[in-house]
Protein backbone atom coordinates (compact mmCIF):
# COMPACT_ATOMS: atom_id res chain seq x y z
CA UNK A 1 0.00 0.00 0.00
CA UNK A 2 1.28 3.49 -0.90
CA UNK A 3 1.59 5.81 2.06
CA UNK A 4 -0.12 9.19 1.87
CA UNK A 5 3.26 10.94 1.55
CA UNK A 6 4.21 8.88 -1.50
CA UNK A 7 0.82 9.09 -3.22
CA UNK A 8 1.49 12.49 -4.95
CA UNK A 9 4.91 11.26 -6.11
CA UNK A 10 3.37 8.06 -7.50
CA UNK A 11 0.64 10.01 -9.32
CA UNK A 12 3.23 12.38 -10.78
CA UNK A 13 5.38 9.46 -11.97
CA UNK A 14 2.32 7.76 -13.48
CA UNK A 15 1.30 10.97 -15.26
CA UNK A 16 4.80 11.25 -16.77
CA UNK A 17 4.55 7.70 -18.09
CA UNK A 18 1.11 8.27 -19.58
CA UNK A 19 1.75 11.75 -20.90
CA UNK A 20 2.24 12.08 -24.65
CA UNK A 21 3.20 15.07 -26.76
CA UNK A 22 2.95 16.10 -30.39
CA UNK A 23 5.99 17.68 -32.03
CA UNK A 24 5.03 19.52 -35.24
CA UNK A 25 6.74 18.89 -38.59
CA UNK A 26 10.25 20.31 -38.95
CA UNK A 27 10.57 20.08 -42.73
CA UNK A 28 10.85 23.44 -44.49
CA UNK A 29 8.27 24.43 -47.09
CA UNK A 30 9.65 24.02 -50.62
CA UNK A 31 10.46 27.11 -52.67
CA UNK A 32 8.20 27.51 -55.70
CA UNK A 33 11.01 27.12 -58.24
CA UNK A 34 11.51 23.53 -57.09
CA UNK A 35 7.89 22.68 -57.84
CA UNK A 36 7.39 24.16 -61.30
CA UNK A 37 8.30 23.39 -64.91
CA UNK A 38 8.35 25.30 -68.17
CA UNK A 39 6.52 23.61 -71.04
CA UNK A 40 6.81 24.38 -74.74
CA UNK A 41 3.06 24.08 -75.09
CA UNK A 42 0.31 26.64 -75.44
CA UNK A 43 -1.82 27.22 -72.34
CA UNK A 44 -4.79 25.08 -73.42
CA UNK A 45 -2.60 22.07 -74.26
CA UNK A 46 -0.69 22.46 -70.97
CA UNK A 47 -4.04 22.25 -69.15
CA UNK A 48 -4.82 19.09 -71.16
CA UNK A 49 -1.47 17.53 -70.17
CA UNK A 50 -2.11 18.24 -66.47
CA UNK A 51 -5.64 16.79 -66.68
CA UNK A 52 -4.27 13.68 -68.39
CA UNK A 53 -1.84 13.07 -65.47
CA UNK A 54 -4.59 13.67 -62.89
CA UNK A 55 -6.87 11.23 -64.70
CA UNK A 56 -4.10 8.62 -65.00
CA UNK A 57 -3.71 8.66 -61.19
CA UNK A 58 -7.49 8.49 -60.67
CA UNK A 59 -7.36 11.57 -58.44
CA UNK A 60 -10.68 13.20 -57.61
CA UNK A 61 -10.89 16.66 -59.18
CA UNK A 62 -12.18 19.07 -56.53
CA UNK A 63 -11.87 22.26 -58.55
CA UNK A 64 -11.17 23.00 -62.18
CA UNK A 65 -10.94 26.65 -63.21
CA UNK A 66 -9.41 26.81 -66.71
CA UNK A 67 -9.93 30.58 -66.86
CA UNK A 68 -7.42 31.05 -64.02
CA UNK A 69 -5.42 27.87 -64.66
CA UNK A 70 -6.15 26.22 -61.30
CA UNK A 71 -6.89 22.54 -60.85
CA UNK A 72 -7.21 20.86 -57.44
CA UNK A 73 -7.03 17.09 -57.26
CA UNK A 74 -7.35 14.89 -54.17
CA UNK A 75 -6.18 11.45 -53.15
CA UNK A 76 -5.92 9.61 -49.84
CA UNK A 77 -2.60 7.93 -50.52
CA UNK A 78 0.65 9.32 -49.18
CA UNK A 79 3.51 8.08 -47.03
CA UNK A 80 5.95 9.62 -44.53
CA UNK A 81 8.40 9.82 -47.46
CA UNK A 82 5.98 12.25 -49.14
CA UNK A 83 5.25 14.51 -46.16
CA UNK A 84 6.44 15.29 -42.63
CA UNK A 85 3.45 14.99 -40.30
CA UNK A 86 5.37 15.48 -37.07
CA UNK A 87 6.27 13.20 -34.19
CA UNK A 88 4.32 11.79 -31.27
CA UNK A 89 6.48 11.36 -28.19
CA UNK A 90 5.88 9.75 -24.83
CA UNK A 91 7.86 8.17 -22.04
CA UNK A 92 8.07 5.09 -24.27
CA UNK A 93 9.81 6.88 -27.14
CA UNK A 94 9.06 8.94 -30.23
CA UNK A 95 7.39 7.87 -33.46
CA UNK A 96 6.72 9.64 -36.72
CA UNK A 97 3.02 10.28 -37.34
CA UNK A 98 1.87 7.78 -39.94
CA UNK A 99 -0.86 8.64 -42.48
CA UNK A 100 -4.04 6.55 -42.12
CA UNK A 101 -6.78 5.56 -44.55
CA UNK A 102 -8.54 8.80 -43.47
CA UNK A 103 -5.60 10.91 -44.67
CA UNK A 104 -5.82 13.36 -47.52
CA UNK A 105 -3.44 14.76 -50.11
CA UNK A 106 -4.60 17.69 -52.24
CA UNK A 107 -2.48 18.79 -55.18
CA UNK A 108 -3.09 22.29 -56.52
CA UNK A 109 -1.84 22.77 -60.06
CA UNK A 110 -1.32 26.29 -61.42
CA UNK A 111 -0.99 26.63 -65.18
CA UNK A 112 0.07 30.02 -66.56
CA UNK A 113 0.64 31.06 -70.16
CA UNK A 114 4.16 32.18 -70.96
CA UNK A 115 3.67 33.61 -74.43
CA UNK A 116 1.68 32.03 -77.27
CA UNK A 117 3.61 28.76 -77.37
CA UNK A 118 4.77 28.14 -73.79
CA UNK A 119 3.32 27.65 -70.32
CA UNK A 120 4.47 27.29 -66.73
CA UNK A 121 3.02 24.55 -64.53
CA UNK A 122 3.51 24.46 -60.77
CA UNK A 123 2.07 22.11 -58.18
CA UNK A 124 1.72 22.33 -54.41
CA UNK A 125 0.79 19.40 -52.20
CA UNK A 126 -1.20 19.84 -49.00
CA UNK A 127 -1.22 16.77 -46.76
CA UNK A 128 -3.31 16.05 -43.66
CA UNK A 129 -3.90 13.03 -41.44
CA UNK A 130 -5.81 12.31 -38.26
CA UNK A 131 -3.57 12.75 -35.24
CA UNK A 132 -3.93 10.23 -32.44
CA UNK A 133 -1.98 11.27 -29.37
CA UNK A 134 -2.62 9.05 -26.33
CA UNK A 135 -4.84 10.71 -23.73
CA UNK A 136 -5.58 13.67 -26.02
CA UNK A 137 -8.64 14.31 -28.21
CA UNK A 138 -8.44 13.28 -31.85
CA UNK A 139 -7.19 16.15 -34.02
CA UNK A 140 -5.88 16.74 -37.51
CA UNK A 141 -2.19 17.07 -38.37
CA UNK A 142 -1.25 19.30 -41.26
CA UNK A 143 1.84 17.84 -42.83
CA UNK A 144 4.61 19.58 -44.75
CA UNK A 145 5.45 18.21 -48.17
CA UNK A 146 8.92 16.85 -48.85
CA UNK A 147 8.42 17.57 -52.58
CA UNK A 148 8.59 13.92 -53.65
CA UNK A 149 5.12 13.69 -55.18
CA UNK A 150 5.26 17.18 -56.68
CA UNK A 151 8.49 16.38 -58.55
CA UNK A 152 7.05 13.06 -59.71
CA UNK A 153 3.83 14.67 -60.95
CA UNK A 154 5.73 17.42 -62.76
CA UNK A 155 7.93 14.84 -64.54
CA UNK A 156 4.76 13.08 -65.67
CA UNK A 157 3.29 16.39 -66.88
CA UNK A 158 6.52 17.06 -68.83
CA UNK A 159 6.36 13.57 -70.39
CA UNK A 160 2.71 14.06 -71.32
CA UNK A 161 3.45 17.53 -72.72
CA UNK A 162 6.10 16.02 -75.01
CA UNK A 163 3.42 13.93 -76.76
CA UNK A 164 0.46 16.32 -76.54
CA UNK A 165 -0.49 17.82 -79.90
CA UNK A 166 -3.48 19.54 -81.39
CA UNK A 167 -5.79 17.25 -83.33
CA UNK A 168 -5.26 17.34 -87.09
CA UNK A 169 -8.35 17.48 -89.23
CA UNK A 170 -8.15 16.31 -92.81
CA UNK A 171 -9.72 18.50 -95.44
CA UNK A 172 -11.20 17.29 -98.65
CA UNK A 173 -14.42 15.98 -100.02
CA UNK A 174 -16.89 14.62 -97.56
CA UNK A 175 -18.50 11.31 -98.48
CA UNK A 176 -22.16 11.53 -97.83
CA UNK A 177 -24.31 8.51 -98.29
CA UNK A 178 -27.51 9.10 -100.23
CA UNK A 179 -30.54 9.54 -98.02
CA UNK A 180 -32.54 6.39 -97.45
CA UNK A 181 -36.11 6.42 -98.74
Helix 43-56 crosses helix 148-163 at what angle (to 10 degrees)?
120
Confidence at residue 85, expressed as pLDDT on a 0 to 100 scale:
85
Does pTM top 0.85 for this prediction? no
From residue 21, alpha-carbon distances to 26, 78, 89, 122 in Å are: 15, 23, 5, 35
Name which of 32, 75, 51 is nearest 160 in CA terms: 51
Instruction: Please tell me whether residue 158 adopts helix, strand or coil conformation.
Output: helix
Regarding beta strands 20-23 and 87-90, do their DSSP bridges make them parallel or antiparallel, or are they unpaired? antiparallel
Sign of CA pseudo-dihedral 152, 65, 47, 40: negative
- pLDDT tens for the chain, 181 residues: list them: 555 565 654 444 444 444 567 566 676 665 655 789 999 999 999 999 999 999 999 999 999 999 999 999 999 889 989 998 887 776 566 777 788 888 999 999 999 999 999 999 999 999 998 876 666 677 778 888 999 999 999 999 999 999 998 888 877 676 666 666 5
Amino acid sequence: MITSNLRPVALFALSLLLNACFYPPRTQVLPIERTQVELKLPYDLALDAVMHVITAHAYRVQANDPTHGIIEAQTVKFTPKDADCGIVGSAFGKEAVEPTQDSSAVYTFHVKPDGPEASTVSVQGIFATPLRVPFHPLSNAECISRGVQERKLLKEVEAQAAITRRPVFKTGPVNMAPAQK
